[in-house]
Amino acid sequence: MTKVVIAGGGVAAAETLLALRAAPRGAELEIALVSPGEQLDYRPISVLEPFGGAPRRRFPLARICAEHDATLVADGLAAVDGARRAIVLRSGGELPYDALVIAVGARREPAIEGALTYLARDDEMQWIVRELEQRDVRTIGFVVPPQSGWSLPLYELALLTAHHAAARGIGNIALTLVTCEPEPLAVVGGDATRAVARLLGRADVRVVTGRRVSGWERRTVALDPPDAAGPLVVDRLVTLPRLVGPAIPGLPCDAQGFIEVDDHMRVPGLEGVYAVGDATTLPIKQGGLAAQQADLAAALIARAAGPDASQWVRLRAILLTGARPLYIQALIEDGRPRASGVFQTPPWEPAQKVEARYLSPYLAGWSD
């Protein structure tokens, strides 16, 4: 029986497990999922939490594994021994594999000292919203730094903050979004980029593009290059984290520790080893793309009729605005947008924040 090891406990890892079991010969596989955490932390609409929206959900990995005939190994991945076809666990043990899927994600690091790093602590953005409601804060900056992987959540936070203030009659505020991108949400380009820019303009969110934030001290944001409009001064600064690769010994990685992969998600030089999701060198770190990568790797492992190597570049996203959401579709090739479209009603069904072929319907039918 083929032994498959999946390292990780997030969306990409869970999607890999479900896709393997759904394959025609998936029942013939012996699957182990290795994760130091006990739960799948599912946060597709976490941007709504600071504004009183639905909280994130957590799903026990033990139950997911039990329902898909997989063994849960409560441990972390320390290294890969490709010659012996085994992984080394943090506890010191080893686990052999015939096929290995690395889906451990990336590490989040603060991008700007003193700023709120979104997703680092659950309560900090809520605290800023409360300060806004109490009129203790008038100016807020939002920053998309380099190496953030996926900038859409920061645009959502800016739009949701503007909508929240308007709905409560909070006036005399100034919201500014600073991005290293040449234009808003440049990763999708085209119609989607222009639509996001229009939404920000209607919400009175000032946008400063093509700049990096090198520091924030005494309320003054240091921009590189400087803004011709003068210094940016804000009471609070919110930023996406900077992503860093896992740098796993035994795997080829770039200078930032991200795992190298080819068009089929295979790790070069290591037979039977695949990597998917945020841990890889692929520039866009988005849940729906990670799920498509997982489906491709699973199809190759199970030797099933699966997606073409090019299909993972279909990006679908939902931009939450506080009012009507915006539905975005884009084709991405070599990390660059080829075409994009925006829609007022969902052009795909079911319309979910994270589109995962197997995991999304599975979690939608979850009963506690």
Domain membership of residue 365 (yes or no) is no
Three-state secondary-structure class, residue 41: strand
Are 34 and 77 in contact, with CB atoms under 8 Å apart? yes
Rg (CA), the chain: 21
237 plus 117 within the same structural domain: yes
Domain membership of residue 84 (yes or no) is yes
Helix, strand, coil percentages (3-state) for the chain, rounded to 5, are: 25, 30, 45
The pLDDT assigned to 124 comes to 81
115 plus 224 within the same structural domain: yes
Which of 197, 212, 242 finishes a domain?
A: 242
The pLDDT assigned to 335 comes to 66
The pLDDT assigned to 309 comes to 47
Per the structure, the complete domain to which residue 98 belongs is given by 2-106+245-311
218 plus 114 within the same structural domain: yes
In angstroms, how far is CA 54 from the centroid of its own chain? 19
For the chain, give the mean pLDDT: 91
49 plus 196 within the same structural domain: no
Q: Is the model's pLDDT at 55 over the cut of 80? A: no
- CA dist 155 and 207 (Å) reads 10
Residue 165: which CATH number? 3.50.50.60
10 plus 100 within the same structural domain: yes
Q: How many CB atoms lie within 10 A of CB 333?
A: 10
First to last CA, the chain: 33
Beta-carbon contacts of residue 52 (< 8 Å; ≥ 6 apart): none
Domain membership of residue 91 (yes or no) is yes
**pTM attached to this predicted model:** 0.92
Which of 242, 262, 288 finishes a domain?
A: 242
Three-state secondary-structure class, residue 13: helix
146 plus 214 within the same structural domain: yes
pLDDT in tens, 39-50: 999 888 888 989
208 plus 127 within the same structural domain: yes
Which of 311, 342, 361 finishes a domain?
A: 311
233 plus 253 within the same structural domain: no
H or E element that contains 329? strand 326-333
Residue with tokens 């009603």: 345
Three-state secondary-structure class, residue 133: helix
182 plus 212 within the same structural domain: yes
9 plus 100 within the same structural domain: yes
Domain membership of residue 122 (yes or no) is yes
- Of 190-194, 251-255, 300-304, 305-309, least confident by mean pLDDT is 305-309
Q: Is the model's pLDDT at 311 over the cut of 80? A: no
Number of independent structural domains in the chain: 2
Domain membership of residue 258 (yes or no) is yes
237 plus 270 within the same structural domain: no
Q: How many CB atoms lie within 10 A of CB 239?
A: 24
The pLDDT assigned to 312 comes to 45
Q: Is residue 113 exposed (0-12), middle (13-18) or buried (19+ Cβ within 10 Å)? A: exposed
Q: What is the mean pLDDT of residues 206-222?
A: 94
